[in-house]
């Protein structure tokens, strides 16, 4: 078992939950542990006040909100499949 924070059975369970067949769950243990450590480090950050989390911007500093009409039909530029569904770009 070693001294890992995450066990193989937990990775397999995660794969079951998201309906993904993980052929080698051991490969993912280190990645999941790194994610958990990252969140642990975020949890340990202390702020003296909530002011640090807020940033105030004067309304005068914002750009004017202008309506600019677009003459082309955007829907005509989208890729469609044979069933007339619009195809979105792949997430990488």
* Tens digit of each residue's pLDDT (9 = 90 or more) over 23-46: 777 777 788 888 889 988 888 877
Q: pLDDT of 36-77, one tens digit each?
A: 899 888 888 776 666 666 777 888 888 888 888 877 777 776
| Composition of the chain by helix, strand, coil, percent to 5 | 40, 0, 55
* pLDDT at residue 19 tops 80: no
Position 82 pLDDT exceeds 80: no
> For position 1, what pLDDT does the model report?
43
Contacts of residue 15, Cβ cutoff 8 Å, sequence gap at least 6: 21, 22, 25
Provide the pLDDT for residue 42: 84
């Amino acid at each position: 078992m070693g001294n890992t924070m995450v066990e193989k059975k937990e990775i397999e369970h995660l794969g079951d939950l998201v309906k993904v067949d993980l052929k080698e769950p051991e490969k993912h243990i280190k990645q999941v542990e790194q994610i958990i450590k990252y969140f642990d480090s975020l949890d340990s950050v202390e702020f003296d006040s909530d002011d640090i989390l807020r940033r105030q911007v004067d309304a005068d500093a914002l750009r004017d909100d202008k309506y600019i009409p677009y003459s082309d039909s955007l829907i005509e530029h989208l890729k469609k499949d044979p069933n007339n569904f619009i195809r979105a770009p792949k997430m990488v």
